[in-house]
Amino acid sequence: MTGHHTGWFPRLRLVCLNLALFTGSLVVFALAFEGSIRVVNWWERERAWEERQRLFPPCTIPDPRLGIRLKPHFSGRRASRGEYDVIEQINSIGLRDDREYGPKPNGTFRLLVLGDSFTYGMGVALQDTYERQIERLINAQLADRHYEVINAGVPGYDTAQELEWLEMIGPRLEPDLIVVGFFIGNDITNNAQRVPATRQKFEEHEQRFYTSTTYQARLPIPFKTMLAERSEAYAFIRERYHRLLQIIRIRQQPSEANIWWLDQYRKDVVFEHEPGYAYTDTLLTRMAAWAAEHGAGLSIVLIPDQGQVYPEYWRKAIGDIIAFDLARYDVAKPNRWLVAFGRRTGVPVLDLLPRFQERSHQMKLYYDRDRHWTRAGYRLAAEEIMRFLIDQRFLIDQRLLMRQSKARHQAVR
């Protein structure tokens, strides 16, 4: 009996020792992996922050009314590796320009261009922005007066901010013509989020989308929540595990109905049920009223999204995230609505989409990573806008046109 117990106990002790060593090894490995992921993530965050500060210096400052505005007297470098490297300069009143603007000189016709980062000229030097190119083209072709084209674009602005900016700063610039660079990619949806009820709806859409992609792992919920909140290694593995399930089609991809910013293109959504259209109508109508009150003309230029010009971009960008079916979308739907708005209100609208689609296979119009226009894109936009302004006779004094229109109206009566 003693020999039997003597032989059994050492083996049990050896098993326990091996189990302890194995468990300890797992703990050490888990701690080492967690530490490594934390170090890598910290290094990547620091590098990304330093890189962004170096390549994307903050050109805006907070503003209580506008949210943000361009930083006066700013000068800095903006770059995207392999795409562009430019210097940006802001003047004293917050315009991307190397000139200052005071009262309008006699014999000068001023065009004031409002918009977001496309209008600002993201990705190109000042002389390559479409405003500066239009100014050169106008003054080279028309010698009857001097033409100034003022760039009032601000990255990230929506139509509501552009209207606020116009009401604040527009009067001192005395514009003869106001041009709104309307970016189809997000202006309608950003305007929609100005409506509290709509913003809540979008937030619920996003919450459902992210919840639907969460795999219910066979772990106790409190423990799973603790890991998700405190372990970067767990988040690292979980993200790649979920991606693997979608790639090999074990997990069903979420529906595109959860990507709310696509709603403006969906064929099955009528305009009346898309709140972004209604509020955009309100904002543009108010802008037209402001222009008329101040004796200026108003026109709208529709800036196409990269996915409208190159539909394969949408497939690449979101096709591996959602169950995306391009046949369910009409890429020109927002453009047609805005053109119809122009006809209904008497505001001339230039839609750049057809021309950009026509030239899309002849030249590279958008950067791959940055998603803004290349120099070729800005040049094409400038040429089309210049032709539009001449065709619409916008380069004639708007006050004269208004007087002529009023005289014709009275003669008819």
Q: What is the reported pLDDT for 201?
A: 62
Shared domain for 265 and 153, answered yes or no, is yes
Where does a domain end: 206, 230, 249? Answer: 249
Q: What is the reported pLDDT for 92?
A: 95
74 within some domain: no
Q: What is the reported pLDDT for 397?
A: 55
397 within some domain: yes
Residues 6+ apart with CB under 8 A from 340: none
CA distance 263 to 260: 5
Shared domain for 183 and 282, answered yes or no, is yes
**Which phi-psi region, left, alpha or beta, contains residue 295 (left: φ > 0; alpha: ψ -120 to 50)?**
left
pTM comes to 0.75
Shared domain for 317 and 292, answered yes or no, is yes
Which residue ranges of the chain lie beneath pLDDT 50?
A: 1, 53-55, 210, 212-221, 400-401, 403-409, 411-413
Q: What is the reported pLDDT for 97?
A: 96
Shared domain for 265 and 379, answered yes or no, is yes
Shared domain for 269 and 300, answered yes or no, is yes
94 within some domain: no
Residues 6+ apart with CB under 8 A from 72: 90, 91, 92, 93, 94
Count the domains in the chain. Answer: 3
Q: What is the reported pLDDT for 391?
A: 86
Strands (E) across 304-358 are located at 349-351
Q: What is the reported pLDDT for 212?
A: 46
Q: Name the strands in the sheet holding 297-303, side by side, starting at the edge strand that comes first in the sequence.
A: 146-153, 108-115, 177-183, 297-303, 349-351
Shared domain for 222 and 299, answered yes or no, is no
Shared domain for 239 and 156, answered yes or no, is no
What is the dihedral sign for C-alpha 70, 73, 79, 83? positive
pLDDT in tens, 110-128: 999 999 999 999 999 999 9
Shared domain for 117 and 15, answered yes or no, is no
163 within some domain: yes
Shared domain for 232 and 314, answered yes or no, is no
97 within some domain: no
Shared domain for 344 and 285, answered yes or no, is yes
Domain assignment of residue 27, given as a range: 1-55
Shared domain for 190 and 298, answered yes or no, is yes
- Whether residue 281 contacts residue 182, with contact meaning beta carbons closer than 8 Å, is answered with no
pLDDT in tens, 77-102: 888 888 999 999 999 999 999 999 99
Q: What is the reported pLDDT for 84?
A: 92
Shared domain for 237 and 121, answered yes or no, is no
In this structure, what DSSP letter does residue 98 have? S
